[in-house]
């Protein structure tokens, strides 16, 4: 590690940040704990440009902790539709309720209390403290890992405990006692705009003089990627049962597991018969059925190959009625329920062709 970290790292980084950092992101104005927390959760696994419109819509629907805590979970999931990793939304909602009930709708200003909230890990807790309260706390998100592994040429996958501990140690040493909010934003911005995943802009980087990866000429080798096993493939058939009012049958998925509590299409095995399944489960007779184009949706740990079948239900049968866990649905903007992204697209495309 260079002799004086402040001179080689935080000082040039902060100088660069004043001129080139991002100062107009929607969660920076004002930079309060609720907005910082929301942005940090949304930015896990998702790019800034994708997050911005979601952040703005979410904030309009739930402008503060109390409105979020009081909202029905369906409405929270509805605002999250398309952003993926829905456990984040469920945890956000639970955490808001705990903050209102146990912390008078205020964010605690210490790491361990923040860490005790659902969905908040060590780096998110530190980011809230640094960004919202200017308290010096080290963060270690994907951008920081990339900058530090390159600056010190640290080999080994950063998710490995030993490497992760080493990076936490370095990150703590680098975080200045003053100006924590700017420093934290500066290192995230450098990772996002200069020390980018591919083709980092080393010539314009304020850390270039002491960067070991740049001296070795191999920044692209850091961070070491995880050795990936091939993702398994699962298959499912989704039924788009449409009644004579143009509505499509949705079922609410169970809370645990993939797409927990979201509203999705009935599913069956590829070897099952759509007419029989519709009759047995939903008392619906099918008049016509058409196989739509199959597509793949990839989760973090498997691919899901989806074969949709569009079925027009006979007007002569009495199908299942709306209930707590199933509903006839028509993409009405007033109907606020959470849908998995691929199911939402499928519904919109089908209803556009078959209003």
Binding site for ligand SF4 (CB under 6 A): 147, 150-151, 194-195, 200, 202, 205, 207-208, 211, 213-214, 219
CB-count exposure of residue 264 (10 Å: 0-12, 13-18, 19+): buried
Q: How far apart are CA 54 and CA 67, in angstroms?
A: 17
Distance CA(331)–CA(346), nearest Å, equals 11
Taking the complex as a whole, the smallest distance from the CB of residue 13 to ligand SF4 amounts, in Å, to 10
Burial zone of 353 (CB within 10 Å; 0-12 exposed, 13-18 middle, 19+ buried)? exposed
Q: What's the farthest any 2 CA atoms get from each other in the chain?
A: 82
SS3 breakdown of the chain: % helix, strand, coil, rounded to 5? 45, 10, 40
Report strand pairing: 248-252 vs 263-264: antiparallel
Q: In angstroms, give the least distance from the CB of 3 to ligand SF4.
A: 18
* Structure-block tokens of residue 161: 């405990």
Q: Are 190 and 205 within 8 A, CB to CB?
A: yes
Pairwise CA distance, residues 81 & 70, whole Å: 19
Measured from the CB atom, the residue of 13 and 96 that comes closer to ligand SF4 is 13
161 SS3 class: helix
CA distance 340 to 264: 7
Decide: helix, strand or coil at residue 199: coil
Q: CA–CA separation, 93 vs 11, rounded Å?
A: 38
Nearer to ligand SF4, 158 or 200 (CB): 200
The nearer residue to ligand SF4, 18 or 197, going by C-beta atoms, is: 197
The CB-of-153 to ligand SF4 minimum distance in angstroms stands at: 9
- In the 8-state DSSP scheme, what is residue 214? H
Sole residue written with tokens 């990839």: 298
Question: For residue 139, which of 185, 102, 91 has the smallest C-alpha distance?
Answer: 185
> Could you give the residue numbers annotated as active site?
40
Distance between CA atoms of residues 156 and 259, nearest Å: 33
Nearer to ligand SF4, 61 or 202 (CB): 202
Q: Whole-number minimum distance, CB 216 to ligand SF4, in Å?
A: 10
CB of 80 to ligand SF4, least distance (A): 33
Q: How far is the CB of 305 from ligand SF4 (least distance, A)?
A: 38
Question: Which is closer to ligand SF4, CB of 193 or CB of 243?
Answer: 193
Nearer to ligand SF4, 21 or 219 (CB): 219
Least distance to ligand SF4, CB of residue 16, Å: 10
Which residue number, 72 or 220, has a Cβ lying nearer to ligand SF4? 220
């Amino acid at each position: 590690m260079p002799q004086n970290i402040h001179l080689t790292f935080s000082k040039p980084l902060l100088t660069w940040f004043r001129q080139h950092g991002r100062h107009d992101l929607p969660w920076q104005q004002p930079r309060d704990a609720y907005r910082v927390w929301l942005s940090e959760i949304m930015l896990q696994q998702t790019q800034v440009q994708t997050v911005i419109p979601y952040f703005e819509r979410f904030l309009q629907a739930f402008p503060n902790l109390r409105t979020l805590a009081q909202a029905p979970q369906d409405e929270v999931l509805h605002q999250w539709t398309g952003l993926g990793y829905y456990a984040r939304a469920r945890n956000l909602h639970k955490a808001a309720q705990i903050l209102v009930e146990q912390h008078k709708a205020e964010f605690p200003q210490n790491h361990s209390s923040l860490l005790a909230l659902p969905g908040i890990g060590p780096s998110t807790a530190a980011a809230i403290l640094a960004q919202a309260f200017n308290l010096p706390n080290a963060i270690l998100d994907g951008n920081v890992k990339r900058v530090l592994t390159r600056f010190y040429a640290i080999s080994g996958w950063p998710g490995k405990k030993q490497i992760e501990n080493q990076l936490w140690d370095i990150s703590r040493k680098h975080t200045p006692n003053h100006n924590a909010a700017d420093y934290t934003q500066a290192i995230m911005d450098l990772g996002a705009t200069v020390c980018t995943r591919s083709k980092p802009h080393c010539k314009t980087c304020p850390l270039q003089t002491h960067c070991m990866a740049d001296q070795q000429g191999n920044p692209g080798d850091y961070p070491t990627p995880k050795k990936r096993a091939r993702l398994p493939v699962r298959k499912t058939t989704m039924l788009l049962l449409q009644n004579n009012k143009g509505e499509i049958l949705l079922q609410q998925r169970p809370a645990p597991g993939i797409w927990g509590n979201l509203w999705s299409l009935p599913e069956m095995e590829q070897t099952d018969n759509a007419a029989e399944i519709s009759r047995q489960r939903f008392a619906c007779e099918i008049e016509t059925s058409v196989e739509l184009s199959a597509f793949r949706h990839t989760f973090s740990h498997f691919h899901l190959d989806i074969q949709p079948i569009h079925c027009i239900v006979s007007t002569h049968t009495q199908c299942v009625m709306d209930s707590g866990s199933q509903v006839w649905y028509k993409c009405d903007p007033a109907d606020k329920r959470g849908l998995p992204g691929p199911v939402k697209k499928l519904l919109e495309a089908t209803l556009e062709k078959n209003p």
